[in-house]
Structures are given as structure tokens and as C-alpha cells.
Amino acid sequence: MKLASLKNGTRDGKLVVVSRDLTRYTDASYLVPTLQAALDNWSRIAPHLEALAEGLDHGSVPSERFHEHDAHSPLPRAYQWADGSAYVNHVELVRKSRGAELPESFWTDPLMYQGGSDSFLGPRDPIVMADEAWGIDMEGEIAVIVDDVPMGASVDQARQAIRLVMLVNDVSLRRLIPDELAKGFGFFQGKPSSAFSPTAVTPDELGEAWDGGRLHLPLFVDLNGKPFGRANAGVDMTFDFPTLIAHAAKTRPLAAGTIVGSGTVSNKLDGGPGKTIAEGGVGYSCLAELRIVETLANGKATSDFMRFGDTVRIEMKDASGHSIFGAIEQTVEKYEG
Amino acid sequence: MKLASLKNGTRDGKLVVVSRDLTRYTDASYLVPTLQAALDNWSRIAPHLEALAEGLDHGSVPSERFHEHDAHSPLPRAYQWADGSAYVNHVELVRKSRGAELPESFWTDPLMYQGGSDSFLGPRDPIVMADEAWGIDMEGEIAVIVDDVPMGASVDQARQAIRLVMLVNDVSLRRLIPDELAKGFGFFQGKPSSAFSPTAVTPDELGEAWDGGRLHLPLFVDLNGKPFGRANAGVDMTFDFPTLIAHAAKTRPLAAGTIVGSGTVSNKLDGGPGKTIAEGGVGYSCLAELRIVETLANGKATSDFMRFGDTVRIEMKDASGHSIFGAIEQTVEKYEG
């Protein structure tokens, strides 16, 4: 099933079940008001939501037209956003561009940061920033929402806890990050509010593309209406989601509704950095990677980060070309606070 | 007023108003079920809670005996836990023990990390860990809970947004932290679930000890029943809470219910590291600082981190010696997962 949180003037939105083709929705808020409330009691609530999803597909429950731009992120605010960096290829490129070696442990010990989760953007909300000079970048990612995960959970236990899958735009401020990371405490100002796809879907909606740990489909990232990235999220993902979840749960339990992210989707080409789509490659899921590839090739980055007015669109399509999650589509705007 | 969330089998507990002397409480959950729900609508709800607090002090509302061990942390789970490191003295000591200089910018640009906020411990819950070798440490801190803070808020706007004050035990796993920070993405496994004091109090409860930005009272930290720290939270706090909040809000808004922490409370002595209480000093608020002082003095740390069975108590008393927030008191236990 596919779930969304419609904007209704509240902080958490209204929970609805969306049809497989993303054209209709039926209200689920009489069962449980919000997605977090459903996740708080998933084993009891999910069967009722599944019944609504079936009724929606059969036309046996009341429904209305679903508009993606009416949706919040599925969890407009969450109790945890733990973002991995599972495409180690991407991390290696970042290091290489700084002339640094990738520590061997990076291939066995996942990188993960604690992200801010109190105020996500909606999938069609603008990215409002005070200053272009901060180096505004998108990061196209996959994320899962988990049920309660006990401390010290095994990878198998972690796999069983995955409830929903969605897309992410992990907005990053590239020029704030180096100074911030140099301070040693990780990201804060460099990672403003992220946005998620209009729907979060149960793994069974993904069919064979979901193998229990990775999502084997290309992530469509378009910049100003032009194809920018088509990297396959199932390829070169060094750590699968169960491994990332188990990493997060090593020293503490994860509460239901925790979101775990994959990090920027990135594919190698013949063992090295990928090419742009114009050059016949699969492109990239963030501008930073393109700039690194440019730097490695030409000694300097020729592409800029996002400017006011630029638009990024992030989407994923099934084998028949239909959008699975709906699209994240965000334009960068100047903050006049 | 003083607010608490009583354990009642739900994830968020039941909101109650507690008497100034911490002996009685009155149910507030008929007004609003949880503290987060109150924070979501503070300007409308707070006056009703204040009326209950007054009724409680006058004996005009029904009340029951308040037991601190029945309380969750005031927010058993929160949408954000942003912990500063405002006692720069402490940071300088950590660096000195590694033979490193403190960058000059650390005196003007606050250090802050994004903490996990999905599963806090109750103030009397054990600290359950799988392995003593992880270097289990307490960190006694002050924290504030804020209302909505707009992106780019000024320090004055930030000051106006402070709604509640409480104590924290920011549990840290010292021997996991160096490798984790070396990876560059900040803390994750090294910062397991934190615990907060049994009550969160409005700033007016603190009288003159609260100057709008700092809390000028000693933080009582006892280890296994013996005085370990009496550092004054108002002394050597380089960045006050409004400054920390404005730092957190530079590139994104903060949602109501965001918790902002001070970092480990730490006082200098004559411009240098403090002494233990036994030596006539004010002691420390974490074991790491004692170990650093030992290392600087003797070339190696002689005190250990917490072992299974060890107990830490963190409390703050008003001028008359009465507990303000109630006590955090936690024993370290072995996790049998």
C-alpha cells in the first residue's frame, strides 16, 4: 500500500491511503490521525490500512483525486532521521578530490550521521535559503521507515523491522560543511530540512525490485527539467538497509517511525567515477559529485551549486514507467525572513 | 510551573503539573494528553496549565503524591535534541590532553551536535549497555525546550522562545567516540539514549538564578553516593542558551519541542583545570574531564569510566536547598539482549 500525509493545517497532516497509480486517495484519519500514530501501533493498524488500500483499488471505498502537491512529507516531523552513506563509491570520490585515501574500514563500517528531523519540507515545498553562497545542493536518496528496533538488533531483526520505503532530497549546504566537519561534531547547519516523496510505500509494492535490503531501480534526478541522474539505487550500495539499521541500533533502541537513509545514490563506471547523462553515463544524484568528477578531470569544478530559481525533481519509476512514490520537486528560493 | 510526564504504558506518558516542592501532582492530561501536545500549542495551553499549578499550590485541585521514579523524561521522545558544548573550557581540556591547540574560532562559533531523540531514558531508568569496555560516562548538563523558532532567528528571538528548563544526563560511550569522530560524520553510536530530570520547569520558577540565558546554580553530580561535581552552570558558559538556539536555527526553523543542551557543565579554577571536591575544588560533571585532569597531572588517567552497578545522581538545588527539577539517578546495568 501507499500512504501519504495531506496538508491540513496541522503539524503532522492527515493520514490517507493512496491508490497504486497515485490518482486517488481515501481518508484513513478516522482509523488513526497520523502516520506516526499508525507506526506507533503498526501491527494493529496496518491490516486496517491494507483493507482500505484494497477497497480503494476496487472502488469500494469513498475516494478523492490525489494531488502530489497537497502532500506533506509522509512524516512531516519524525523522532529520528539517521542518514547513512552507503554508496561508498561516492565517499571515495569525495576523498579522492581532496587527495586523501579512503580508510579501509569504510568498506566494512557504515558511515552514518544523525540528521535533524523536527521540520521536514513537503515534497513540493521550495527550498528557502538566505544565501546562495552556502552552496545549495540536492542529494537524491532512498529511505526506509522502521518499526521499533531493539538495541543490539541483528541484521535479520533489522530487516524484519522495515515498514515503509520512500525517496529523499537530503538538502545540503556544501560550503558550510567543511568548516562544520572540521569542528569534529558532524553536520548541523550544513544539513537543513530534508524533503521526502509524496508517498511512503510498503516493500510489497516494489515487487522484485526490492530484495529485502536494496531497491534495484534507477533514481531519476532532473535539474531544471533536464535529466541529471539515473543511477541505480541497487547498484554499488555497499551497505544494505538492514546493515544500516543494525549499525544505528548498536548502542540504543530505535523507536518506531525512525527514518534511515541510504546516502546519495551513486554508481561507478568501469570501477571509476561515472559520466554525465549527456556523455552516455548514468549521471549523479547530487551536484557535489559532478563537481568532484569535473575537478578530477579538469583540475576545477565548472558546474555551480543550485541558484535561486533552480528546480530539482527526484522520482522513481517501476518497470512500466509509472511513478512509484510520486515526485519530489523543489525550487530554490531566497529567504526573506 | 513544573511539568512531568508520568509513565502510563504509552510512548509519551501522561502530562501532569507538579507542585513547587515536588511532593504532589495534578493530572493535566484532560486538557492536553502529552507535553509535546502542549508545546505544539503553547500559547493557548500554557495559561490553563499555569492555572492548574496555582490550584495545586492552593490545594484547590485534586492531587496525588508525586514520586520521581514514576516519571519519564518530560519528553520521553522528542523531534529534536541539539546538544551544544558551551563550556569551552571543557573542550579546551579535551584538546589539551591530546596535545592539540583549541582553534580560536571555538570561542566565537558554538560547537553543537545533532543527538538522537527518539528513545530517551526516564530519570530513574538504568543505563543498560552491552559492554563496559565502551567507556560508559555521564555528562551533567542543563537543557531548554523551545517553542517554534524561525529560520535565521536573532539571539533575542531565540531568548523569547525558551519555554522550559531541565537537567540532562547525556550518556556517552567514550571509547567508541574517537573512531566515530575520526570518520568525520559526528556522534552516533557514541551517544546512546540520554535521560532528563523528572520535571521541566518554566524559567520563572528559577527566580534570579535564571538571567534569561544561563542558570546560575551549582549542578550536583554524585557518583556512587559521593559528591563528584558541584560546578556552577552559570559560570564559564561561553555561549548562553539564546546563542546556542540561534546557532541551531541558522539554516532551518526549529519546531516546538526542540531540546537544546548546554554540554557538560565545567568550571575553570584560576584559569586552569578544576580540582576534585576532595581537593577543595568544585569537581566535574563527567568522568572524562577527571581523567583528562589526571592525565595532564600524572601522565595517565587513574579513574575508570562507569562499571556495571555504578550509580550517578544529577540534581540542582535552589537557594534554600530544595531540589528544583527532581533528580536523575541511574545505575549502569549489563544488557542481556
CB-CB neighbours of A78 under 10 Å: 28
Q: Which residues contact A284 (CB under 8 A, 6 or more apart)?
A: A221, A228, A229, A231, A266, A274, A276, A290, A293
Distance (Å, rounded) from C-alpha B129 to C-alpha B121? Answer: 13
- pTM: predicted TM-score of the whole model, two decimal places: 0.98
Q: Is B85 on the interface with A (CB under 8 A)?
A: yes
Residues 3-22 of A with CB under 8 A from B: 11
Closest C-alpha to A312, from A326, A298, A327: A327
Backbone φ, ψ for residue B37 (5° rounding) = -65, -35
Dihedral angle, C-alpha A313, A88, A218, A222, nearest 10 °: 20
Q: Is A186 on the interface with B (CB under 8 A)?
A: yes
Distance (Å, rounded) from C-alpha A60 to C-alpha A186? Answer: 50
Place of cell 560524520: B185
Q: Where are the domains of chain B?
A: 1-66, 75-334
Q: Which residues contact B58 (CB under 8 A, 6 or more apart)?
A: none
Question: What one-letter code names the amino acid at B110?
Answer: P
Three cell numbers written together for A48? 486496517
Contacts of B115 in chain A (CB under 8 A): 114
Instruction: For residue A59, give how far its alpha carbon lies from the nearest alpha carbon of chain B (Å).
Output: 36
CB-facing half-sphere around the CA of B5: CA atoms within 13 A: 28
Distance (Å, rounded) from C-alpha A192 to C-alpha A180? Answer: 13
Count contacts between A and B (CB, < 8 Å).
Answer: 144
HEC letters along A3-28 = EEEECCCCCCCEEEEECCCCCEEEEC
Dihedral sign, CA of A261, A77, A6, A53? positive
- In terms of CATH architecture, what is B75-334? Alpha-Beta Complex (3.90)
Q: Which residues of B102-137 are buried (b: 16+ CB within 10 A; e: fewer)?
A: eeeebeeebbbbbbbbbbbbbbbbbbbbeebebbbb
Average pLDDT over all residues of chain A: 96
Q: pLDDT (tens digit, 0 to 9) for every residue of chain B, 337 residues total?
A: 999 999 999 999 999 999 999 999 999 999 999 999 999 999 999 999 999 999 999 999 999 999 999 999 999 999 999 999 999 988 898 888 777 888 889 999 999 999 999 999 999 999 999 999 999 999 999 999 999 999 999 999 999 999 999 999 999 999 999 999 989 899 999 999 999 999 999 999 999 999 999 999 999 999 999 999 999 999 999 999 999 999 999 999 999 999 999 999 999 998 888 999 999 999 999 999 999 999 989 999 999 999 999 999 999 999 999 999 999 999 999 998 7
Three cell numbers written together for A84? 547513512
Q: What is the mean pLDDT of residues A60-86?
A: 98
What's the Cα-to-Cα distance from B15 to each of B10, B74, B76, rounded to whole Å? 11, 8, 11
Best of A188, A191, A193, A247 to disrupt the B interface (most B CBs within 10 Å) is A188
pLDDT of residue A100: 80
Angle of helix A287-298 relative to helix A88-97, nearest 10 degrees? 50
Q: Is B82 on the interface with A (CB under 8 A)?
A: yes
pLDDT of residue B99: 78
The more confidently predicted of residues B102 and A261 is: A261
Which secondary-structure segment (H or E) carries B3?
A: strand B2-6
Give bridge partners of residue A328 from the DSSP assignment: A314
Residues 124-163 of B with CB under 8 A from A: 128-130, 134, 150-152
Cβ–Cβ gap B129/A251 under 8 Å: yes
Best of A119, A180, A333 to disrupt the B interface (most B CBs within 10 Å) is A119
Contacts of A254 in chain B (CB under 8 A): 118-119
Digit-coded pLDDT (tens) for A20-65 = 999 999 999 999 999 999 999 999 999 999 999 999 999 999 999 9
Three cell numbers written together for B193? 539514549
